[in-house]
Amino acid sequence: MSIRARIIGIDPGLRFTGFGIIEAEGNRLRHVVDGVIGTDGAAPVAERLRALDAALTRLLESYAPEFAAVEETYVNRNATATLKLGYARGVALLAPARAGIAVAEYGAKTVKRAVVGTGAAEKTQVGLMVRRLLPGATITRADAADALAVAICHAHHLATARRVPAA
């Protein structure tokens, strides 16, 4: 017996936040929707975060995923950029939590390993594998591919967790 799980993956950023929703049933994956939420770079930060939160909340209401997965962010940038990334990532973690959805976090290497088979994969390889695994994906920007990749990673994690026999 396998259970169908609907998963949203989020790749957060203040300027562009990628999202991707998939359905996983055992090892089978199905693409539901993907895209990018952009916020107005000229608007105050609080307003940009409000717009991002509103867009994510609408997605969660419309597609009702049971699981959310967010990519752990690179922090090897300058402090101001890291802080801005923190704002967007905070909203990306908060929006599903507020909707009562469990939120998982995965490091970039874990995502690459799940999608390509090696944690050292190039970004382009990840995008190619995501398109192969999810033929219906639109992926207008790399952020959407990254979001779908973290959703796929969580699907693998759920499938593996279910294969472990109960104690």
Distance in Å, CB of 99 to its own copies, minimum: 10
CA pair distance 62, 95, nearest whole angstrom: 14
- Binds its own copies (CB under 8 A): choice among 3, 75, 123, 140: 75
| Helix spans in the chain (H) | 45-63, 79-98, 108-116, 123-133, 142-163
Distance in Å, CB of 10 to its own copies, minimum: 11
CA pair distance 39, 118, nearest whole angstrom: 33
Q: Is 66 an interacting residue with respect to its own copies (CB under 8 A)?
A: no
Q: Is 46 an interacting residue with respect to its own copies (CB under 8 A)?
A: yes
| b (16+ CB within 10 A) / e for 18-54 | bbbbbbbeeeebebbbbbbbbbeeeeeeeebbebbbe
Interface pattern 101-140 for its own copies (x via CB under 8 A): --x-x-----------------------------------
In contact, 60 and 99? CB cutoff 8 Å: yes
Distance in Å, CB of 47 to its own copies, minimum: 6
40 assigned to active site: no
CA pair distance 100, 42, nearest whole angstrom: 32
Among 161, 160, 123, 140, residue whose Cα is nearest residue 149: 123
Distance in Å, CB of 75 to its own copies, minimum: 4
Catalytic residue among 23, 25, 66, 143: 143
Q: Is 97 an interacting residue with respect to its own copies (CB under 8 A)?
A: yes
143 assigned to active site: yes
Catalytic residue among 71, 105, 122, 146: 71
CA pair distance 33, 65, nearest whole angstrom: 11
Site residues for its own copies per CB under 8 A: 44-47, 49-50, 53-54, 70, 73, 75-77, 79-80, 82-91, 93-94, 96-98, 103, 105
> What residues are labeled active site?
11, 71, 143
